[in-house]
Amino acid sequence: MGKKKRKTSEINSSSMADIAFLLLIFFLVTTSMGSTTGLSRRLPPPLPKDQVVPPVDINKRNLFIVKVNSQNQLMVQGELMDIRGLREKAKEFIKNDANQDNLPVKTLVDIPLIGPMEITKDHVISLQNDVDTQYQVYIDVQNELVAAYNELRNELSREKFGKIYDDLDEEQQKAVQTAYPQKISEAEPKNYGGVK
């Protein structure tokens, strides 16, 4: 009798907000906004200790030297240069459109998916810096060089596949990479251009 009407009372949910707040604050404290972007590089393997460095046999026209001194000034191929001109200069060097004598040697390579293409296979960009060079400037230079490669790759991708490089599939990306291999050498540190 009368028992049918009895209900279980509802769970009191007024403390739900407090619990949620607690969790929120916990996550606010223990996490940080992730800024995990950066420039990927590959270092050359270490030199054996007791071995004399063999003189590098690179044709001079294949070499693109960028030097940064302690005053953060840039010297590109022997002349003082502003960082804004570096990208164009690097692109001109890597591409060697007009097949000039002072720019890297071009070789005909048959690349899958793209076909035969003359590429500057053996070019090397050498980046040298002083001990006192500011890190931001070094990154700027790296950035410009990578940008030069990226622009060239994008141009080629658009021409051959009608898409930008990032939208290509893996094999196409590989083909474009073969056409424009990224060759930035991080030289052994040297101390020059400084007064110290």
Partner 1 sequence: MAQIRKDKDRETPALATSSLPDIIFMFLFFFMAVTTMKEVTFKVRVSPPMATEVTKLENKSLTRYVYVGKPMDQYKKAFGSETRIQLGDAFADVNELEEFIVSERSAMNENDQNLMTVSIKADKDTKMGVINDIKQSLRRAYALKIVYSANKRTAL
Cα–Cα distance measured from residue 186 to residue 11, given in angstroms and rounded to the nearest whole number: 66
Our finding on whether 21 is near partner 1 (CB under 8 A) is: yes
Between 45 and 116, CB nearer to partner 1 = 45
Our finding on whether 53 is near partner 1 (CB under 8 A) is: no
Binders of partner 1: how many residues, by CB under 8 A? Answer: 50
Nearest to 65 by CA among 150, 194, 178, 190: 190
DSSP letter assigned to residue 163: S
Our finding on whether 45 is near partner 1 (CB under 8 A) is: yes
Between 115 and 189, CB nearer to partner 1 = 189
Between 17 and 53, CB nearer to partner 1 = 17
Q: Segment 135-154, which members bind partner 1 (CB under 8 A)?
A: 135-136, 138-140, 142-144, 146-147, 150
In angstroms, the Cα distances linking 159 to 28, 65, 105, 126, 162 are: 47, 29, 23, 29, 6
CA 135, 141, 147, 149 torsion-angle sign: negative
Between the two ends of the chain, the Cα-to-Cα distance in Å is 101
Q: Segment 85-114, which members bind partner 1 (CB under 8 A)?
A: none
Among 1, 3, 10, 27, binds partner 1 (CB under 8 A): 27
Cβ at position 150, least distance to partner 1 in Å: 6
DSSP letter assigned to residue 34: -
Cβ at position 139, least distance to partner 1 in Å: 4
